[in-house]
Homo-oligomer: A and B are copies of this chain.
Amino acid sequence: MRIGQLAQLVGVETQTIRFYEQQGLLPPPDRQDNGYRVYTEKHGEGLAFIRRCRILGLSLAEIHELQSYQDDPHQPCTAVNALLDDHISHVRSQITALQALEKQLVSLRASCNDDRGVEACGVLAGISEGNMHQQ
């Protein structure tokens, strides 16, 4: 299986596959005589794993860490679960920050309707005056 087929199978671009290989997330495959990469099903599974992790918002570093646990299956899975717990709290704090931001933006937006000139725009005035309530 060549790189294009693998890419289509998993739904990634070929460059992305090369990039993961370069980053050490995907093992370097064998090469044909012409230098073309040849992939096996294992590579497909590995790549799909990476993609699912990315969809879950995990960073490449976190994925790398997960892979190191996979390579050592007799360890207790405490570290895996802890990694996920950490990531969940990342996500939660992002949500909290964005919600505070949304509130601020909505109140700023409420300070203007569309029937004004830029010089009287409540939004621009609100930003310029700097009476922003820090979270």
**A interface secondary structure, majority:** helix
A16 to B109, CA, bound (A): 28
Q: Quick one: copies of this chain in the complex?
A: 2
Q: Let me know if A99 is at the binding interface, CB within 8 A.
A: yes
Q: How close is A67's CB to chain B, nearest CB, in angstroms?
A: 10
Q: Known interface pairs A49-B127, A118-B80, A132-B52. Does A87 touch B75 (Cβ–Cβ under 8 Å)?
A: no
Interface size range on A against B: 35 or more
- In the complex, besides A48-B130, A77-B116, A91-B101, 14 extra interface pairs with C-beta distance below 8 angstroms are A49-B127, A55-B132, A55-B134, A70-B124, A72-B118, A73-B117, A73-B118, A77-B120, A80-B121, A80-B123, A81-B121, A88-B105, A88-B109, A92-B102
